[in-house]
Amino acid sequence: MQIKDLRDPTNERLFNIEFLRKALDGNAPWLDTIVLSRQELVTTFAKGEPLKRRSRIYIVLGLSLARILEKKQLQLMDFVYAITLVTQELETFSNKEVLPKTTGPTSTKKEKTKKSLFSKIGDEFSLLHVPHFAFAPDYYQSLYTLLDILYEVHLKIMFYCDNPTSAVKDLSASVLDSFNKFSTRIRKLLNAVHQDIDTLARAKINRELNRVMFSLIPDSGAKDRQMKAAASSSFGYSNVTFRSGFANG
């Protein structure tokens, strides 16, 4: 197999991760539409149990990949197989990671149950590192840290690609197939992030459109207020369309 079959998708993923990091920092417009401030993202991402669950998954994946990055002597084949196995084990962990709620008078007992559950799950994996979560981690920080680690993982692959001696020796159909599985799982994970930011961006654009409509309609009584209400209802999510194949990268 040719090196470019590994280099090209890796380079594209590096670009996509960097774009996501800039968007999360509030330093780039989301898909050339609107800039979302860091505070807007932090506030939005602080809500909801599903996001808390995903933040735990991000931490588990980030810690596990970081441990592989620390192994300096891995060849390309071993590195790709390792990161692919981590994502494979992560899928199993994600399916089992259904935690009891920790509110109410029995919260202490439930916390002990949760700790025991994580301990048992962690023992099942060879490369996936599952820590004990004493509290729900911050989603925004968990995501941003994972993006940093994913960036380093792909930089490592680019290093192998730019070192023909080691890369050519190990590059085979099985290595590329393993990398494609890893890439597909990471794409699925990042697509969920894209959907979250898309929803927030659409809502902000919708508010801005309504504000403009209100400013254009003079307020001269109940009739005008009815017109404003009609104008407001005409600008929903369905009227905002983003042109992007970015989430497929």
Residue 20 has pLDDT above 80, yes or no: yes
**Mind listing the pLDDT tens digit for each residue in 153-185?**
999 999 988 886 655 555 788 999 999 999 999
Share of the chain above pLDDT 70, in %: 73
The amino acid at residue 213 is M
Rounded mean pLDDT, 221-243: 50
How many independent structural domains does the chain possess? 1
Average pLDDT over residues 28-51: 86
The answer as to whether 246 is a domain residue is no
For residues 9 and 181, is the Cβ–Cβ distance under 8 A? Answer: no
Q: Is residue 248 part of a domain?
A: no
How big is the CA angle at 245 (ends 37 and 9), to the nearest 5 degrees? 100
Contacts of 160 (CB under 8 A, 6+ apart): 6, 76, 79, 166, 167, 170
The stretches of 97-172 forming alpha helices (DSSP H) are: 107-122, 139-161, 164-170
CB burial string 149-173: b at 16+ within 10 A, e below = bbbebbebbeebbeeeebbeeebee
Query: Can you give the residue range of the structural domain that contains 103?
Result: 4-201
Is 242 part of a structural domain of the chain?
no
In a domain, 232, yes or no: no
Indicate whether 71 belongs to any domain. yes
47-62 tens-digit pLDDT: 777 888 899 999 999 9
Closest by CA to 33, choosing from 198, 221, 246, is 198
Q: Is residue 221 part of a domain?
A: no
For residue 18, what pLDDT band results from cuts at 50, 70 and 90?
very high
Q: Does residue 223 belong to any structural domain of this protein?
A: no
Closest CA to 14 of 198, 210, 179, 149: 149
pLDDT at res. 238: 43
Domain assignment of residue 243, yes or no: no
